[in-house]
Structure 1
Amino acid sequence: MKLTTRQKQVLDFITTAVTEAGMPPTRVEIARQFGFRSINAAEQHLRALARKGAIDLMAGTSRGIRLKLSTGLPVVGQVAAGSPLLAEENLQGTRALSGTLFNPKADYLLRVSGLSMRDAGILDGDLLAVHATPKANNGDLVVARIDGEVTVKRFQRKGGKVTLLAANPDFAPIEIDPRKHEFAIEGLGVGLLRNLA
């Protein structure tokens, strides 16, 4: 499903309304949000989203919009922000928000364990929104797998060596020679949900 930029914005607006208010917006609210001159413009965007399979439209009601895409992000495993901790691949539930609220899109949430990323504002128990990708640039916040274990760190590559940097002076950098260790980037950290429990 390929959405235009505006269609994605409208879908994000609907998703946010459903997540925060518990109900979809009216056509009038959509038109007001995006500065459309008529409700018909909002209706055209909704019909396009329905054709592309993102929503269902129900006739006869002003809030007759139902999201077809999952509005939940799965919470997967537990990721160490300290020493690498084996990530369990089983689902630990979902959180009711759309991955499209993040840029790039989040594919899942990982629960952080430890305080090695404390100075980057990532605390024990927080949920890190992760965009699944095997690529990273220097300085990116990454979820990295080292010999089967997973950790959250800042990525740095120099020559053939990879260094994973903590954001807490109490934790030493993790230096990896990819020729001697299994190493992979699992994804990029693209957002954070604070654990308020």
Structure 2
Amino acid sequence: MEQTLTDSGWRGSPDVWLNAAYETLLDSGVDAVRIQTLSKKLNLARTSFYRSFEDREELLAALLARWREKNTGSILKQANAYADSLVEAILNVSDCWFNNEIFDSKFEFAIRSWAMQSPEILAEVHAADRARIRAIAEMFMRFGESEFAADVRARNIYLLQIGYISMQMSEDIALRMKRMPEYLKGFTGKPPKQKDLDRFFARHGITPEQMEAAHD
């Protein structure tokens, strides 16, 4: 007979409940993140939840904190990463859009969907947007752009990606990579150096042959 989590005497932990809440948020939205639903999902008694969180609101706050740390934190970190050139700096930020370990696009969509029904969460999202745009703008300013121009260029980069997420665009990664040189030219006004592109493509595991074969 298969041993259940409760049979084994395991009572869960904050991370277990939070991970279950995260998965439920992504799959079904915030309204489905309920203590009873999660207890059934985990095969744990509801009473064990209260050993980890005071109530559902504390669990939701923990979800929001995870999003801030993962997604906003990663953009700020990548925007401040060392770079020899502006193109390299932009590609550091672009790592967020191609690596789910750095930036979780599904989590981003779920939080923004939640914000559509909660003024408090919408305010959190707007604050995150401001912080992210500011970090990318400061990156441009480090390479000599004026504050105003840097803000506009930062918006070009950031709002493009948020558009991808909000529209749930499904696009082959090789095709997106194929478009990167033109995106970079638009972001900076100059064509990128091939060595910068080659490093970027290599760290995301995309070959020239894959890009050549990619099409709409």
Superposition TM-score tier, normalisation by shorter sequence = 0.3 to 0.5
Q: TM-score, normalised by structure 2?
A: 0.30
Structure whose residues are more often helix by fraction: 2
